[in-house]
């Protein structure tokens, strides 16, 4: 009975995670590349409407808590800014964007590596590969849980 309770809780958690996945996939702020060496440049992009005013990108991380203002129109729409990472400490940074009308444009992360470290990525949220991998993991976990539960029930019926 305890195993069924654990499997039921796990299935419920996977179900909620699956429901929340599309919300995460709609993140409006992107950072490209996802990984850059110290002294590299990352492009911060939001879907803020330029007519609503400037976008403010708040960058927080191991040694930063700064705002970057943007009035530059992004090629695909929205607003963008370039951030030069000279003087940044190695680690992961979060970028949260707020549009000129006060609405949030979501957040994204990037990692600063040593010079000669990991190659630059294609942007944390730009292509959503991580989200797709997470979704696949959730679906796989749900299928595995259902299979184990079905086997356990079949075993219990056969031995009763």
Omega within 30 of 0 (cis) for the link into 33: yes
Mean pLDDT confidence for 122-129:
46
**Residue 60 pLDDT exceeds 90:** yes
So what's the pLDDT on residue 4?
56
pTM confidence score? 0.56
Identify the sign of the CA torsion 43, 47, 49, 53.
Answer: negative
Q: Which of 56-65, 127-136, 148-157 has the lowest mean pLDDT?
A: 127-136
Mean pLDDT confidence for 39-60:
93
Helices H / strands E in the chain, number of each: 2, 9
In the chain, DSSP assigns E strands to: 30-32, 35-37, 41-46, 55-61, 64-70, 72-73, 79-84, 91-98, 104-113
So what's the pLDDT on residue 141?
60
Half-sphere exposure of 16 (CA within 13 A, CB side): 5
Q: Please state, in angstroms and as integers, the Cα–Cα distance from residue 45 to each residue in 30, 35, 56, 97, 153, following that order.
A: 5, 15, 10, 9, 51
Q: Coil, strand or helix: which one is 83?
A: strand
**Residue 8 pLDDT exceeds 70:** no
């Amino acid at each position: 009975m305890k195993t069924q309770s654990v499997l039921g809780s796990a299935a419920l958690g996977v179900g909620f995670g699956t429901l929340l996945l599309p919300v995460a996939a709609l993140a409006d702020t992107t950072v490209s590349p996802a990984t850059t060496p110290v002294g590299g440049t990352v492009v911060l992009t939001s879907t803020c409407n330029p007519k609503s005013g400037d976008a403010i990108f708040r960058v927080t991380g191991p040694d930063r808590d700064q705002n970057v203002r943007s009035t530059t129109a992004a090629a695909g729409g929205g607003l963008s800014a370039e951030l030069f990472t000279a003087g940044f400490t190695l680690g992961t940074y979060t970028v949260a964007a707020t549009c000129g009308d006060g609405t949030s444009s979501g957040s994204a992360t990037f990692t600063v590596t040593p010079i000669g470290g990991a190659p630059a990525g294609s942007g944390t949220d730009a292509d959503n590969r991580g989200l797709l991998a997470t979704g696949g993991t959730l679906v796989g976990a749900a299928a595995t849980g259902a299979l184990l539960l079905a086997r356990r029930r079949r075993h219990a019926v056969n031995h009763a």
